[in-house]
Amino acid sequence: MSSYINRAQLQGVVGNDPELRYVGESGKAVCNVRLATTNRYKTAHGEFAEETEWHTVVGWETVAERMAQLNKGDWAAIEGRIRTRTAKDAKGTERTHREIICERVTRVDVLKAETRADSAPNQAAEKPSRANEPARPDESWGGFVS
């Protein structure tokens, strides 16, 4: 067993509708999506600040088809490995791309429902509070996919 680890676990907001396509002669499914994660911290001056990172997430085959069920604005949890690759753009300039090769994905609907309740006070009274419950994936989604 190797002592090297390349793992990424992210939970954030889906920033675009997934781009599902089929490539090659075999028609292998591939899906790209952008995921935003935000780090909140207190500065040296005592003020609160946020830093948002955008991650490119790529899924293949079954995971790609599962990722395609996400929508812009969904909360999602992904697990995978980090890959760095280089490619030339239209002008011939070499660009470096870092992406997460997704191996597991799930929607985190509980967090999304709480966010909606916070932004729409009139609907918050209709929904039971889940503030004390741990975040869990929607059971109809099937949780993590291998």
Beta bridge partners of 41: 49
d(CA 122, CA 103): 38
Quick one: pLDDT band at residue 135, thresholds 50, 70, 90? very low
Q: Where are the domains of the chain?
A: 8-107
4-18 mean pLDDT: 93
Check whether domain 8-107 has CATH 1.10.3720.10, yes or no = no
Answer yes or no: are the C-beta atoms of 37 and 53 closer than 8 Å: yes
Measured CA distances, 10 to 3, 14, 123, 128 (Å): 22, 11, 29, 27
Quick one: pLDDT band at residue 136, thresholds 50, 70, 90? very low
Q: pLDDT tens digit string along 67-115?
A: 999 999 999 999 999 999 998 989 999 999 999 999 999 988 755 566 6
Task: Please list, in sequence order, all residues whose beta carbon lies within 8 angstroms of the beta carbon of residue 7, skipping any fewer than 6 positions away.
Answer: 79, 80, 81
Task: Please list, in sequence order, all residues whose beta carbon lies within 8 angstroms of the beta carbon of residue 49, skipping any fewer than 6 positions away.
Answer: 40, 41, 42, 43
The phi, psi pair for 105, rounded to 5°, reads -145, 145
44-54 mean pLDDT: 93
Quick one: pLDDT band at residue 3, thresholds 50, 70, 90? confident
